[in-house]
Copies of this chain bind each other. A is one copy, B any other.
Amino acid sequence: MPINIWMVEDNSRYRKSLVAVINNTPGMYCDQAFSACEEAFDAMEVEAHPDVILLDIGLPGMSGIKGIQKFKSYAPDVHIVILTIYEDNDTVFDALCEGASGYLLKDSTQDKIVDSIREVLAGGAPLNMRIAQKVLQLFSKIKIKRDTNYGLTEREKEILQYIVAGLTKQQIADKIFLSFHTVNTHIKNIYKKLQVTTKAAVVSKAFNENLFKAGN
């Protein structure tokens, strides 16, 4: 059966042009196109749900970002592909967190957009080249932090885990069969190495710098 596509895009020229392209492509059709999320929500109440929604972000009324979840509440399995001019980190990040299945930029060719519709239904995640690069950069940022060990010993790392877990010094001592004083000493040493002075700060630093994972 042909792919049912909806489109939400306030630029009528761009919208009409792309709708025409889709309707001239075998295997897919777009009979619903809107200039605002609100109109599309009304249609979701009465029409058969689409397979894919091509969604702009810079819209009058509700933004595409907020619209993602709303569309998903109507049709949990719908694939939402963002099609926008925005490529700043925050917008991309927010859209992906909201559950977009793909992210294209409007400078994409019409062929690329049509291909992406097929790709998302095949279980893929069409991403513009520059968007994919941004996404990967987010990962490598995580790594940088994970390298700084602060020279914690094994025992100290172990105790660090329990601090993060929220145990008191006495509870930690009981857990690993040490005296309260020993735990106290270890924690003092952890403070020196991490250059902090409270448990809350240790937890904060531990998360910010990914002081977990045994390896390295």
Residues of A within 8 A of B (CB): 93-94, 96-102, 119, 122-127, 129-130, 132-133, 135-136, 139-140, 142-143, 146, 163-166, 168, 196-204, 207, 215
What residue of chain B has the Cβ atom nearest to residue A134's Cβ? B125
CA distance A201 to B165 in the complex (A): 7
Rounded to whole angstroms, the CA-CA distance of A132 and B124 in the bound complex is 7
Chain B residues closer than 8 Å to A122, beta-carbon distance = 129
Closest chain B residue to A215, Cβ basis? B94
- Asked if B200 and A143 make an inter-chain contact with CB atoms under 8 angstroms apart, the answer reads no
Q: How far is the CA of A164 from the CA of B207 in the complex (A)?
A: 11
Q: How far in angstroms is the closest Cβ of chain B from A80?
A: 11
A34 CA / B45 CA spacing, docked (Å) = 59
Copies of the protein in its oligomer: 2
For chain A, what secondary structure do more than half of its interface residues adopt (helix, strand, loop), or is it mixed? helix
Bound: A97/B146 CA distance, A: 9
Residues of B within 8 Å of A129, CB to CB, are: 119, 122-125
A143–B139 alpha-carbon span in the complex (Å): 16
Q: In the assembled complex, which residues on chain B have CB atoms less than 8 Å from the CB atom of A199?
A: 198-200
Minimal beta-carbon separation of A63 from chain B (angstroms): 11
Report how far A135 CA is from B165 CA in the complex, Å. Answer: 27
Contact of A143 among B98, B127, B197, B215 (CB under 8 A): B98
A202 to B164 Cα, complex, angstroms: 10
Shortest distance from the beta carbon of A126 to any chain B beta carbon, whole Å: 8
Which residue from chain B places its CB closest to the CB of A65 in the assembled complex?
Answer: B215
Given A164-B204, A198-B199, A207-B207, A135 contacting B125 (CB threshold 8 A)? yes
CB contacts (< 8 Å) of A133 on chain B: these are 123-125
